[in-house]
Structure 1
Amino acid sequence: MTPDNKIRPTDAPESVPPIRTAEGGLANGTAPMNRMARWIPWGIIATAFIHTVYAFVTMSGAWGDIVDAGVFNGIEKDAEREAAVWFFYAGIGLLGFGTFALKEVRATGRIPLQIALYLVGIGGTMVVVLPDSGGWMLLVLGALTLVSRRGAADRR
Structure 2
Amino acid sequence: MKKAWIGKTVIGIALVHIVFGLVFFNDILWQLVREGLFNTIHEEFDRNAAFWFLYTGLVWVLLGIFIDDAEKKQLAVPRTISQGLLVLTVLAVILMPASGFWLLFIPVGGLLTRK
> What TM-score does the superposition give when structure 2 sets the normalisation length?
0.87
Residue 41 of structure 2 corresponds to which residue in structure 1?
A: 75
Q: For residue 96 of structure 1, report the CA deviation from its aligned partner.
A: 1.1
**Counterpart-to-counterpart distance in 1, 2:47 and 2:111:** 33
- Check the 8 A contact 1:118/1:142 in 2, yes or no: no
| Distance (whole Å) between structure 2 residues aligned to residue 110 and residue 76 of structure 1 | 40
CA RMSD of aligned residues (A): 1.7
Provide the aligned length of Structure 1 versus Structure 2.
Answer: 115
Aligned residues: percent identity?
28
**Aligned match of 2:9:** 43
Kindly provide the amino acid, as one letter, of the partner of residue 68 in structure 2.
L
Select which of 54, 72, 94 maps to 1:106.
Answer: 72
Matched position secondary structure for 2:43: coil
CA, structure 1 residues 39+66, in 2 after alignment: closer, same or farther (shift >3 Å)? same
How many angstroms does 1:128 deviate by? 0.9
Q: Cα offset for 1:69? A: 3.2
Question: Shift of residue 70 of structure 1?
Answer: 3.1
Amino acid at match of 1:42: K
Of Structure 1 and Structure 2, the greater helix share is in 2
Distance in 2, matches of 1:109 and 1:75, equals 39
| Counterpart selection for 1:90 from 56, 59, 84 | 56
Secondary structure of 2:105's partner?
Answer: helix
Question: What's the secondary structure of 1:67's corresponding residue?
Answer: helix
Which entry has the higher C-alpha Rg, 1 or 2? 1
**8 Å CA contact 1:48, 1:94 repeated in 2:** yes
The separation in 2 between residues aligned to 1:61 and 1:101, in whole angstroms, is 33
Structure 1: tracts of 5 or more residues without a match: 1-31
In the TM superposition, structure 1's runs of 4+ consecutive aligned residues that sit over 6 Å from their partners are: none
